[in-house]
Amino acid sequence: MAASLAAAQTGPAPFAGRLDQARTTLQVDESGLHGPGAAVIAAAVEQARYVLLGEDHLSREIPRFTVGMCRIMAPGGLRALAVETGPEAAVVVNSNLRRPDRATRIAAFAQKYPDAMAFLNGRDESDMASECARLAGPGFEIWGLDQEFFGSAGYLLEQMLAAHPGPNARAAIERLVALDRSMSAAAVASGSPGDLFIYKVTDRQIAEASGLIARDGGVRGKALFAALVETRSIYLGQNTDGYASNGQRARLMKRNLVGHLTASPSPARVLFKFGDVHMAKGINGLGQRDLGNFAAERAEGDGASSVHIAVYGAKGVHALYGGVGRQVRHEPFVLTDDADYAWLKDALATRPGEGQGWVLIDLRALRTKPAQDMPAPWRKVAQRYDLLVIAPDLTPSSLLGAK
């Protein structure tokens, strides 16, 4: 009996106490990150090659936090910000990143090619990318690792024509351009992505074009057509086999990352900003070994390290997809009202003297000799992420060039 009591007294501390010890506060403003939480973050990322932010999309506050991360990382070298948009969309962003009329040009692109760019046509996302470029210097760029967005067909096809394909390919591409124009007009009128080329073009039409483009489409044209075909496959797959589609998407993002890393003249230090499901280590909520796990393994295989930070808002207003070419719609939320995040309720309760600032929880401290009464959701998040950051409120961003 005495031995059992001694073992209990020397065992892991109960989870509630461990959580309080791992919890600290953070302030985020235009000049950066401040407070004790900022020191924890700075120490964590100081030697990391890859820093991965798993976020809640299209707020004003998380881009501000991301700029704070760029401010911390830039003095030690920051090669790129890798984001959840397509490679061709990222080319457009990079070509305008340092221009004084950047926002106007991105808005014009979005108006000409509705829904051809994911997230980086957000006003706060665009400002964030520009400020990170200023902080990191001339070698910095945006890396788009995802498939292209579902309205991208018209832009990709026009880029194929601009690459001077041969007569067979040109005729096939021009037929697809005409289809896209008709379908895009219908999608803008209805607001439904289901009316876009990606969803409406038939397998037969794609196959006929593929044979002709293979003849004389040229290297650039063939690569763009392959990107269009894979983008279509991923989106269509979400309606038939989500698991396979998510796996295909994860493999694409990994290949795109490897391409950038291989092309970099020296080991690239990269900040990632994707939805939280993509940045997790291990098996994520989609049942995939996604980009976050790949980056962690890649870093370790190279003798380096990665830091994975989940960033949420406790409550506020979400900016949600509003339709093809249309402005976001707004939806109030409380994070812990969502069953997937209800386990955070105790962690978000304000402690005496804390105020209403941001909260940081060092998950690394919770997974070392975990408390026996540690709830399963906390065990899971501590395995997937290193730090958990929660803003008191999120307010919605807006889209450039949207109706």
Mean pLDDT value across the chain: 94
What pLDDT band is residue 12 in, cutting at 50, 70 and 90? Answer: low
d(Cα 13, Cα 295) in Å, to the nearest integer? Answer: 32
Helix (H, G, I), strand (E, B) or coil at 402: coil
Place of tokens 């985020």: 28
Q: What is the pLDDT of residue 7?
A: 43
Here the tokens at position 144 are 């788009």
Over range 296-311, report the average pLDDT.
97
**Cβ within 8 Å of residue 66, ≥6 positions away:** 53, 81, 128, 132, 271, 273
Q: Which amino acid is at 61?
A: E
d(Cα 194, Cα 199) in Å, to the nearest integer? Answer: 6
Place of tokens 């007009």: 185
Here the tokens at position 391 are 């803003």
> Residue 158 class from Cβ within 10 Å (0-12 exposed, 13-18 middle, 19+ buried)?
middle
Report how far Cα 397 is from the mean position of its chain's Cα atoms.
15
Q: What is the pLDDT of residue 334?
A: 96
Q: 193 and 153 in contact (C-beta within 8 Å)? A: no
- pTM (two decimals): 0.94
Place of tokens 């390290």: 305
d(Cα 145, Cα 254) in Å, to the nearest integer? Answer: 8
Which residue did the predictor score with more confidence, 13 or 204? 204
Q: What is the pLDDT of residue 357?
A: 87
Going by C-alpha positions, the residue among 178, 273, 180, 160 that lies closest to residue 232 is: 180
Among 40-49, 195-204, 284-293, 355-364, which stretch is predicted with the lowest mean pLDDT?
Answer: 355-364
Q: What is the pLDDT of residue 376?
A: 94
The model's pLDDT over 209-237, given as tens digits with 9 standing for 90+, comes to 999 999 999 999 999 999 999 999 999 99
HSE on the CB side for 302, CA within 13 Å?
A: 19
Diameter of the chain measured on Cα atoms: 88
